[in-house]
C-alpha cells in the first residue's frame, strides 16, 4: 500500500465512509509491524479533537491542531502537515455535529473496570493470591519450593520421583493475563477469564496432561516419549512439541484450536458421535469443535489474527457483536448490556489496539453509530 493510499483509507475510516472491503484492508495493514504507530498518530489526534469538542472552546481546538502540527514539523514533510490539517478540519466538523446531535457521552458517567486478583489453588486446597508486582517463591504444603514468581510469570522447577500427580489450578480473572512455565519447560500464555489445572511436576512414563477453561497459547517443550495433552472439556488436543492457540470459554458455542507450528491431533472425549475419528491439524489451520453437533471442521486461517491477543490486540473477522461484546467484557472486566437483539447478531470486522475501554466504545459509537450510556458502572447499548 502506498503512502497516499494508506492516508486515504485512514481518512475514510475517520469520516465513517470506508467500505467493508476497505476496513478489511486497513485492519490487515495495522497488524503489520510498525504500522500501528502510524495509525495511532491519527487516532490520537482524533481523540484530542473529540475531547476538545466535548468542551466547546474554539481556541483550545486551534491550539490542539497547531501543537500537533508543530510537533511533527521536524520529522515530516509539508505534504503530511496538510494531511493532519485536513484530518483536523474533518474531525472539527464531526465533533461539532456529534455534539449538537447529543451523541457524545456525559463526562460525569465514568466507567471504572473492576480489579480482581489472580489466584492459585494449591494441591492441599489452599488458595493463594498472586500479585503481579512481586517476586516470590511458591511452596507446597510441606514448605518445599516448587516454583518462583517473577511479576506476571510463574515458573515451576520442582522434579518428582513419585507416581502420584499433585495439581495446582491457576485462575486468571477478567482484565488480566499471566504467563506460566510448567515443570517440563512448556510456556503457557493465559488470556483473561481463563483457568488452567496442571501438575506441579509431571510423572515419568505418562503423558503430560493439563486442563483448560478459557483461552491460552501453548509453546510446548518437545518430549517424544511423553505427549503433551490439553483437555478442553469434550476435546483432547495431543502434541509432541508445537505452538498453538486454544479458545474454550464456557459461553462460546465452539472450541477453537489454531496451529502455528508443529502438528496436533484432536480427539473427542465423549462417544455420542457418529464420527469418532481423530482430526490432525497442520500449521496455518483452525479446527472448530461444534458443541451442538459434536463434529469437528477445519479451515485455513491467518494465525496472526488468533494470536494477536498476545500483543495486547483484539482482532475480529466476521464476528457477531455478541462475540465482540463478550471479548470486551473479558479483556476489560466490565459489564456490557446490549438491549438491541438485532445488533447482537450483526457481523463486524474490527481491530483494536487501544489502551482504555472508553476509547474502544467511542470507536464503536463514531464508526458504527452504536450509541450507549453508562449507568452504575455498566455499559448499556440501546
- Percent of the chain whose pLDDT exceeds 90: 45
Report CA-CA distances (Å) from 225 to 125, 162, 167, 204, 237.
31, 18, 21, 9, 16
Query: What pLDDT does 63 receive?
Result: 55
Distance of CA 352 to the CA centre of its chain: 9
CA-nearest of 266, 267, 208, 210 to 241 is: 208
Considering the four listed CATH numbers 3.40.50.2300, 2.60.120.1440, 2.130.10.10, 1.20.140.10, the one that applies to the domain covering 118-306 is 2.60.120.1440
Q: Is the dihedral of CA 107, 327, 353, 42 positive or negative?
A: negative
Give the pLDDT confidence of 364-374 residue by residue, as tens digits.
888 788 889 99
- At residue 232, the 3 state secondary structure works out as strand
* Residue 93 grid cell: 466538523
Contact 259, 285 (CB under 8 A): yes
pTM of the model: 0.72
Query: What pLDDT does 126 receive?
Result: 95
CA-nearest of 294, 235, 246, 285 to 263 is: 285
Report CA-CA distances (Å) from 375 to 109, 334, 337.
7, 12, 11
Query: What pLDDT does 95 receive?
Result: 45
With a CB cutoff of 8 Å and minimum separation 6, the contacts of 141 are 122, 123, 124, 126
Report CA-CA distances (Å) from 68 to 1, 59, 161, 296.
25, 14, 64, 52
Residue ranges of the domains in the chain? 3-100, 118-306, 313-381
Give the pLDDT confidence of 123-155 residue by residue, as tens digits.
999 999 999 989 999 998 888 899 999 999 999
* Residue 16 grid cell: 465513517
Helices (H), 101-225: none
Contact 325, 338 (CB under 8 A): yes
Give the pLDDT confidence of 339-354 residue by residue, as tens digits.
998 899 999 888 888 6
Query: 141-149 — which CB contacts under 8 Å span 24+ positions?
Result: 146/200, 146/201, 147/200
* Residue 163 grid cell: 507416581
Cell numbers 503512502: residue: 3
Query: What pLDDT does 351 receive?
Result: 87
**Do 118-306 and 313-381 have matching folds?**
no
Below-50 pLDDT ranges, the chain:
54-56, 69-108, 274
What CATH number does the domain located at 313-381 have?
3.55.50.30
- At residue 314, the 3 state secondary structure works out as strand
Amino acid at each position: 500500500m502506498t503512502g497516499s493510499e494508506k492516508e486515504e483509507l485512514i481518512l475514510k475510516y475517520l469520516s465513517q465512509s470506508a467500505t467493508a472491503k476497505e476496513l478489511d484492508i486497513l485492519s490487515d495493514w495495522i497488524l503489520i509491524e510498525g504500522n500501528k504507530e502510524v495509525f495511532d498518530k491519527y487516532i490520537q489526534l482524533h481523540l484530542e479533537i473529540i475531547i476538545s469538542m466535548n468542551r466547546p472552546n474554539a481556541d483550545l481546538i486551534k491550539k490542539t491542531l497547531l501543537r500537533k502540527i508543530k510537533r511533527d514539523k521536524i520529522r515530516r514533510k509539508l505534504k503530511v502537515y496538510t494531511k493532519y490539517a485536513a484530518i483536523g478540519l474533518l474531525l472539527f466538523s464531526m465533533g461539532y455535529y456529534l455534539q449538537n446531535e447529543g451523541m457524545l457521552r456525559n463526562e460525569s458517567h465514568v466507567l471504572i473496570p473492576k480489579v480482581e486478583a489472580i489466584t492459585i489453588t494449591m494441591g492441599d486446597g489452599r488458595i493463594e493470591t498472586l500479585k503481579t508486582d512481586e517476586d516470590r517463591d511458591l511452596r507446597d504444603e510441606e514448605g518445599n519450593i516448587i516454583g518462583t514468581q517473577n511479576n506476571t510469570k510463574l515458573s515451576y522447577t520442582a522434579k518428582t520421583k513419585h507416581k502420584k500427580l499433585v495439581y495446582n489450578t491457576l485462575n486468571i480473572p477478567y482484565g488480566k493475563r499471566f504467563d506460566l512455565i510448567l515443570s517440563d519447560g512448556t510456556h503457557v500464555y493465559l488470556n483473561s477469564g481463563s483457568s488452567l489445572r496442571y501438575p506441579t511436576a509431571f510423572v515419568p512414563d505418562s503423558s503430560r496432561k493439563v486442563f483448560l477453561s478459557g483461552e491460552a497459547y501453548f509453546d510446548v517443550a518437545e518430549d517424544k516419549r511423553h505427549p503433551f495433552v490439553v483437555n478442553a472439556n469434550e476435546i483432547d488436543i495431543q502434541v509432541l512439541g508445537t505452538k498453538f492457540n486454544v479458545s474454550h470459554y464456557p459461553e462460546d458455542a465452539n472450541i477453537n484450536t489454531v496451529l502455528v507450528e508443529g502438528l496436533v491431533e484432536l480427539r473427542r472425549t465423549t462417544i455420542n458421535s457418529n464420527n469418532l475419528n481423530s482430526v490432525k491439524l497442520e500449521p496455518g489451520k483452525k479446527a472448530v469443535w461444534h458443541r451442538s453437533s459434536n463434529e469437528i471442521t477445519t479451515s485455513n486461517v491467518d494465525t496472526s489474527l488468533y494470536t494477536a491477543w498476545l500483543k495486547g490486540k483484539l482482532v475480529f473477522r466476521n464476528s457477531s457483536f455478541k462475540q465482540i461484546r463478550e471479548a470486551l467484557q473479558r479483556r476489560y472486566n466490565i459489564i456490557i448490556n446490549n438491549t438491541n437483539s438485532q445488533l447482537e447478531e450483526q457481523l463486524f470486522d474490527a481491530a483494536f489496539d487501544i489502551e482504555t475501554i472508553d476509547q474502544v466504545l467511542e470507536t464503536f459509537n463514531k464508526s458504527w453509530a452504536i450509541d450507549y450510556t453508562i449507568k452504575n458502572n455498566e455499559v448499556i447499548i440501546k
